[in-house]
Amino acid sequence: MKQLSVEHLLGIKYLNPNDLELIFETASHFKEVINRPIKKVPSLRDITIANLFFENSTRTKLSFELAEKRLSADVINFSAGQSSVKKGETLIDTVNNILSMKVDIVVMRHSNVGAGVFLSKHVDAKIVNAGDGTHEHPTQALLDSFSMREALNTNSLKGKKIVIVGDVLHSRVALSNIFALQLQGAEVKVCGPTTLIPRYISSLGVGVETNLKKALEWCDVANVLRVQHERMAIKYFPSTREYTQLFGINKEILDNLGKKIVIMHPGPINRGVELTSDVADSDQSIILNQVENGVAVRMAVIYLLAQQIKR
């Protein structure tokens, strides 16, 4: 029967193709729900969810919170900035304290790789990884694939060509996207300055292209990543201006491709760096659709995990 094969959503690499299809199908039902006049269903009335954000986030946190509220769950929020973490409490202690308030699902973002996996082994709750360091951001990859299917008007990404442009080295979005796209049979290339491409990335079966124009000519969809200045302790490229000249996408490049590709960005955009404003706001860009689909996909993930909690 239709159920996820995993107990937690820790990363795309733990999922199988059937899980993805189930999540997308469920998300399409929820997308219809969030376009109704009353955008709410009572499914999760007796579920309590804690959103633990040990790292800053605007859109993911709002999106999760909205998804939870649309499912009628009770929601508590926690941001590390104003918490006892600063007083030296350990992660397990923090979470167990929260769980003693009878919480069923924990949505967590943490700056350490593997924080979600670690937590899932030590606490008794469903864990949803909302980003762990530079490792995975599974719900972003799910909503990206869901949006690609919608933009390309297809039920399958098999054989589609997707290029991930930019700071692949620091990007959890890139890794989760690679796993998700490969599960669906898509072809993936990464494109960016060699300093921002992990050296052994081809071992994952993705192509590497350092020429932006060639990469865009090859692809159906370009998923453009943000340059994560805050994760860069050293200089990875000489100047932002040079990065923009070599890897920034502008309207002129797009118009000269001879075909119409889809432009995506997980946000927040550095306007004028990786994308110019006229590209970000053009009809080729589905950035705001991604945000809308984010709520539906997160509703689906939470609904499907909650389904496994027996009363």
* Binding segment toward other proteins, per CB under 8 A, in 39-47, 74-82, 122-130, 134-142: 39-47
Asked whether residue 271 is marked as a ligand-binding residue, the answer is no
Rounded to the nearest 10 degrees, the angle between the axes of helix 138-152 and helix 287-306 is 120
Counting contacts by CB under 8 A, is residue 28 touching other proteins? yes
User: Is 173 or 304 the residue whose CB approaches other proteins more closely?
Assistant: 304
User: Is 37 or 268 the residue whose CB approaches other proteins more closely?
Assistant: 37
Asked whether residue 149 is marked as a ligand-binding residue, the answer is no
Counting contacts by CB under 8 A, is residue 268 touching other proteins? no
Q: Is residue 131 a contact partner of residue 172, using CB atoms and an 8 Å limit? A: yes
DSSP string, the chain: ----S-SSB--GGG--HHHHHHHHHHHHHHHHHTTSSS----TTTT-EEEEEESS--SHHHHHHHHHHHHTT-EEEEEEGGGSGGGGT--HHHHHHHHHTTT--EEEEEESSTTHHHHHHHHSSSEEEEEEETTTB-HHHHHHHHHHHHHHHT-S--TT-EEEEES--TT-HHHHHHHHHHHHTT-EEEEES-GGGS-TTGGGGT-EEE--HHHHHHH-SEEEEPPP-GGG-SS-SSS-HHHHHHHH-B-HHHHHTSSS--EEE--S---BTTTB-HHHHTSTTB-HHHHHHHHHHHHHHHHHHHHTT---
User: Is 39 or 121 the residue whose CB approaches other proteins more closely?
Assistant: 39
User: Is 3 or 245 the residue whose CB approaches other proteins more closely?
Assistant: 3
Counting contacts by CB under 8 A, is residue 158 touching other proteins? no
User: Is 2 or 121 the residue whose CB approaches other proteins more closely?
Assistant: 2
Give the residue, chosen from 6, 21, 41, 74, that forms a contact with other proteins under the rule CB under 8 A: 41
| CA 242/CA 245 separation, integer angstroms | 5
Give the residue, chosen from 13, 21, 43, 218, that forms a contact with other proteins under the rule CB under 8 A: 43
Counting contacts by CB under 8 A, is residue 36 touching other proteins? yes
Least gap, CB of 240 to other proteins (angstroms): 46
Mark residues 61-80: x for contact with other proteins by CB under 8 A, - for none.
Answer: ----------x---------
Counting contacts by CB under 8 A, is residue 102 touching other proteins? no
Cis peptide before 268 (omega within 30 of 0): yes
* Binding segment toward other proteins, per CB under 8 A, in 12-20, 37-45, 118-126, 178-186: 37-45
Asked whether residue 267 is marked as a ligand-binding residue, the answer is yes
Give the residue, chosen from 5, 40, 76, 155, that forms a contact with other proteins under the rule CB under 8 A: 40
User: Known binding site for carbamoyl phosphate: residues?
Assistant: 59-60, 109, 137, 140, 267-268
Residues in contact with other proteins by CB under 8 A are 1-3, 25-26, 28-29, 32-33, 36-43, 71, 303, 306-307, 309-311
User: Known binding site: residues?
Assistant: 59-60, 87, 109, 137, 140, 172, 226, 267-268
